Structure 1
């Protein structure tokens, strides 16, 4: 699977369950097909993600979600025990998609370009850190509904454990950045490379969170990747 495929929304757009294709006013409605195993679950998650993409969207209730899908609330609970479990389905995808690519980035040897006097020590780590931040921001930009989940705007009135999971997500991002940046601090001859790497990782993580929050709270008008290359150059 390519990076662009993973960054994009995973769910097949959910058609309204009550819709039927009618070629003419006199046509007989086609029989409703029974969803394949797991298909209705994906439809529910897609609908939730789509509703979250509406700028200024208020808290989404199960009643509103059921209405969007043209099913009963009981039909939702046949696939999810609670609304919190639906949000966990979205968080699962965020984690799986982002960290699959993060592992590819940090596990890949990126050759440093030739510079005057040789190669710049530690450049690989800085480039890896920049790519990790770019990945997180590109994912949020291509999946606006997910971005609202990532920064917690969609979780304000939901179960506390959901926000804790997103906190852990960014803790993992920060830990990965710290590992990338430790060689950079070493190459610069830092007296405290571990501390310097931790500070730099914290700054980059806060930058990513701030950009995603601005994206969400601007009604998705201010893109998180705006002037990204120049911003990362200043920090790295």
Structure 2
């Protein structure tokens, strides 16, 4: 029996859950299947997480922390509002490409038949992404690059574009790269 350090088993559970979500067939993930994949009992899972919903919350927290940490970095590194919007879009699509299992969480597919508060949380995440775009585009407006009257519309368009690319990536079994031709497409959108 191997001894794991505190927090290691919890991380292993989340990593395995994310890896299981990468299955293009999208079978329902049960705690029994997750426990078998890690070679532990279901009771071990429940020592670290009170429910499967809490496991998904752990994935969502990872997504939020990563995405918004990177958005903050982009905002600090680039004063040009259009460049911020461009880089946020590239980052969001690259994140999905590097984390296919997380993409299923982002688009809500992994949350079907789970606690509805999880989907509400993902909806809030999308609202925060749109808000980040608005902030970047307001900066672009101050710089004379975007009419103020178009900030909300463009932010919504970029958010919808990213969500559509994530959807296509997941629905094609992770074959249609979300970053393919994206630089030209973002330039066209902005």
Provide the TM-score with structure 1 as the length reference: 0.77
In 2, the alpha carbon distance for the partners of 1:37 and 1:147 equals 28
Match among 106, 119, 130 for residue 150 of structure 1: 106
Q: 1:71 aligns with which of 23, 36, 40?
A: 40
Q: Partner of 1:93 in structure 2?
A: 62
Report the equivalent of 1:130.
86
Deviation at 1:134, TM superposition (A): 0.8
Deviation, structure 1 residue 43: 1.0
Residue 189 of structure 1: CA displacement?
7.5
Q: Secondary structure at the match of 2:4?
A: coil
Partner of 1:50: 19
TM-superposed CA distance for 1:135, in Å, is 0.6
Q: Give the counterpart of 2:125 among 169, 178, 187.
A: 169
**Structure 2 SS opposite 1:107:** helix
Residue 170 of structure 1 and its aligned partner are, at CA, apart by 1.2
Q: Deviation digits for residues 100-131 of structure 1, max 9, x if unmatched?
A: 11101112244xxxxxxxxxxxxx10110010
1:1-236 maps to which residues of 2 (within 5 A)? 32-110=1-79, 124-186=80-142, 187-188=144-145, 190=147, 193=148, 195-236=149-190
Partner SS, residue 58 of structure 2: helix
Whole-angstrom distance in 1 between the partners of 2:29 and 2:37: 11
SS state at 1:231 partner: helix
Which residue is 1:119 aligned to? none
Say which one has the larger Rg: 1
Deviations 1:184-236 (A, max 9, x none): 3351583xx1x410000000000000000100010000011110001001101
Q: Structure 1 214/85 Cα, relative in aligned 2: closer, same or farther at 3 Å?
A: same
Partner SS for 2:175: coil
Please state how far the C-alpha of 1:33 moved relative to its aligned partner. 2.3
Aligned length: 189
Contact 2:82–2:145, Cα closer than 8 Å, also in 1: no
Decide whether aligned partners of structure 1 residues 39 and 189 sit closer, same or farther in structure 2, where only a CA change above 3 A counts. Answer: closer
1:111-170: CA deviations, max 9, x gaps?
xxxxxxxxxxxxx10110010011111001000000110010111111111111111111
Q: CA RMSD in A?
A: 1.3
Identify the range of structure 1 (156-165 vs 200-209) with the bigger mean alpha-carbon deviation: 156-165
The 4+ residue runs of structure 1 with deviation greater than 4 A are none
Higher relative contact order (CA 8 A, sep 6+): 2
| Mapped partners of 1:189, 1:125: distance in 2 | 9
Give the helix-richer structure, 1 or 2.
2
TM-score normalised by structure 2 residue count: 0.95
